Amino acid sequence: MANKPMVWMDGKMVEQDKAYVPLMSHALHYGSGVFEGIRLYDTKKGRAIFRLQDHIVRLFNSSKILDMKIPYTIEEICEATREVVRQTKTDIDYIRPIAYYGLGEPGKIVLNPAKFKVNVAVATAKMGTYMGKEQLEKGANIMTSSWEKPSNKSTSLQAKICGNYVNSVIAKIESNQHGADEALMLNSNGTVAEGPGENMFIVRGGKLITPPISAGVLEGITKDSILVIAKDLKIEVIERDITRGEIFNADEFFMTGTAAEVTPCSFLDGRMIGDGKAGPITKKLQTAFFKAARGQDKKYDKWLDYVDI
């Protein structure tokens, strides 16, 4: 196991601080890359990558939007991801696969990357608790961003395209500048979309409600995990549009994502949601999710790639 974080880069394993991207790479100038964020959890069987195959399949699906031909198979990228983890020290919990348009003809930089090389890399990082340990337990403080999500007519919001996330970055900056833990973003219709990097759920009358894909949200893998778990727990799920005002009157409000995992939200725009703490259904889903991710529930063992066995 390496003393320094390792990166799998175009088929070779290199130390992360020696992994360089040329200045004239198309993705650096235009955001023409696709990426994934994947969690790594400690289990009794060693470290496990959460829903690796699903993440890499989504990476390939995202690449289709940019007409990008990734020069490896899904299984090759999966194995590269496993190998990066095997060769990296244990204080990592986050994995970042990325495919991007690199260099074209020498001295040229144009909008259409059709003739540019496609590069692929897999890196690791220490994410920790994304919004904070206290927020994960007691609830986060959310504010509605003044920035709205792009519409489904302006880009593919189901693809994790690097350039799409500038919108998320400015919303995140704004929320932190105002003392909030995270932003809530509305779409062009004025209904709720998602956070900068999270899907969102509310609970009303014991029912779990979340916006549909048409609201301009990513098909989140953590969201899908929660939908599966909710079904197994006999919690009714409804996918429909949600208004900002409806959240104020919700019994519970939480966000999901690879980074955020399952984070309860106690306040929105200064208004307390429910009892101002993680609600019973949020707690139940959060507990079940972490048991699944940490290999403590055999029912969901198919979601885990054990890399140290």
Residue 93 CB contacts under 8 Å (≥ 6 apart), including other chains: 39, 40, 41, 126, 127, 128
Using a 10 angstrom Cβ sphere, with 0-12 exposed, 13-18 middle and 19 or more buried, the burial of residue 137 is middle
| Structure-token pair, residue 52 | 């690796």
State how far Cα 49 lies from the chain centre.
14
Query: Active-site residue 117, yes or no?
Result: no
**Sign of torsion over alpha carbons 95, 158, 61, 53:** positive
Helical H segments across the chain, by residue range:
26-30, 52-65, 74-86, 133-138, 166-177, 221-232, 244-248, 280-293
Give the Cα separation of 38 and 206 in Å (integer). Answer: 30
Determine how many CB atoms are found less than 10 A away from the CB of residue 206.
11
Which residue has tokens 């198919």? 302
CA dist list (Å): 86 to 64, 249, 269: 30, 47, 43
Give the Cα separation of 116 and 137 in Å (integer). Answer: 46
Give the Cα separation of 274 and 251 in Å (integer). Answer: 5
CA within 13 Å, CB half, 72:
25
Among candidate residues 149, 160, 172, 223, the one labeled active-site is 160
Stated length of the chain = 309
| Structure-token pair, residue 31 | 């955001």
**Sign of torsion over alpha carbons 15, 18, 23, 29:** positive
Q: Which of the residues are catalytic?
A: 160
